[in-house]
Structure 1
Amino acid sequence: MADIINAVEFAESRSASSDGDEGRDVTDVMELLFFSYRDFVSDPDEISAPYGFGRAHHRVLHFVNFNPGLTVADLLDILQVTKQSLGRVLKELVDLGFIEQKPGLRDRRQRLLFLTPSGKALNSKLESPQYRRIRRALEDVSPENRATILSFLFNMIDSEHRPTAARVALKQDMPEKKR
């Protein structure tokens, strides 16, 4: 497939032609993010459609899968959506048997969220193509460049949301800034 540009050749050609043109670099990143996000969500969107589910359903399944026992309050913090939006999505997932809610051990008012076996199967089906896509994209990326990619993505997150992202996605707590 000679007409397909190799990613390394693409990056080299862009950096050689930009001669420090930061505006073009930023535009390149913006446009590639749009295209990559479009393709990243296309498979799960197609898989979700017969269920009448959208991207919010997928995000809920994803975060509950990787954080069993997550509270509704924590999920609201992660997703940054309204209680009403989450309530609608969560109700559908619970009613259809993809998520179960259990009362908290210390505070019975808390609702702890867990995927059911059906929820795990659906989540796996939704995320498998995304996992393959990322694995394929990382095949030729060195460990140093993988760290750069993670740093770039982390720095795209608004600073006030980085502690949540570090805790949830990277499974680490960020040190508090000294005042």
Structure 2
Amino acid sequence: MVDGKSGSAGGSESLLFLTDEQLRKGIEAMFFAYRGFTADPDRILEQHGYGRAHHRAIHFINRSPGTTVNNLLNVLGVTKQSLNRVLRALIADGLVDSRVGKMDKRERHLHLTSTGKTLEAELSEAQRARMRAAFREAGHEAVTGFRQVLEAMMDPEQRVHFNALKEEDV
């Protein structure tokens, strides 16, 4: 057993045995990494009187311009009441434009305004800079492994949303 791995040299059939202590350290690393990952955007959001819920809405509206409120509810996994509170603020402040659907007048399609796009770019660049530096330091294999671990931790319905976003990038 090397580095906690045992099994075939091919890797696909290897078993990974981690002690409770190693898992605890991984959990703690996720907590602290998340704090770091959100620290810069939190400072930017605070200047505008927004929180992380606003950030998530802005991020996913940017990723899928014209997304419906219902789709955004599914992606974010929040209550309608919670999302409505966030969207009301973003619309009132001129960051999001809500348009009536052309095919279904009951639908509301969401788009970032130029002001919303500017804020989204600032928030995303802060996170990209942190990830870029971490990925560069960790190396290609670690980045690939990290991505695999994150995807493996997703619930199946979350993975569906994630894979749909990946397909948009193709």
TM range (shorter): 0.7 to 0.9
Q: How far 1:127 moved relative to its partner?
A: 1.6
Counterpart amino acid of residue 68 in structure 1: P
3-state SS, counterpart of residue 112 of structure 1 = strand
3-state SS, counterpart of residue 50 of structure 2 = coil
- Return 5+ residue gaps in structure 2 as ranges: 5-16
Aligned counterparts of 1:160 and 1:64: Cα–Cα separation in 2: 19
Of 158, 163, 168, which residue of structure 2 is paired with 1:161? 158
Q: How many residues align?
A: 155
3-state SS, counterpart of residue 81 of structure 1 = coil
Aligned counterparts of 2:149 and 2:50: Cα–Cα separation in 1: 30
- Return 5+ residue gaps in structure 1 as ranges: 1-11, 173-179
RMSD (Å), alpha carbons: 1.9
Of 128, 132, 136, which residue of structure 2 is paired with 1:135? 132
Q: Does 1:105 align with 2:125?
A: no
Of 146, 167, 170, which residue of structure 2 is paired with 1:171? 167
Of 124, 140, 147, which residue of structure 2 is paired with 1:150? 147
Aligned counterparts of 1:42 and 1:92: Cα–Cα separation in 2: 22
Q: Report the equivalent of 2:68.
A: 71
Of 43, 48, 51, which residue of structure 2 is paired with 1:51? 48
Q: How far 1:104 moved relative to its partner?
A: 1.7
Aligned counterparts of 1:41 and 1:140: Cα–Cα separation in 2: 19
Of 59, 63, 74, which residue of structure 2 is paired with 1:62? 59
Q: How far 1:140 moved relative to its partner?
A: 4.0
Q: Structure 1 pair 84/143, CA: closer, same or farther in 2 (3 Å)?
A: same
**Percent identical residues:** 38
Deviates more, 1:98-107 or 1:54-63: 98-107
Q: Does 1:33 align with 2:33?
A: no
Aligned counterparts of 2:164 and 2:83: Cα–Cα separation in 1: 21
Counterpart amino acid of residue 102 in structure 1: R
Q: How far 1:147 moved relative to its partner?
A: 2.5
Aligned counterparts of 1:25 and 1:68: Cα–Cα separation in 2: 41
3-state SS, counterpart of residue 167 of structure 2 = coil
Counterpart amino acid of residue 103 in structure 1: V
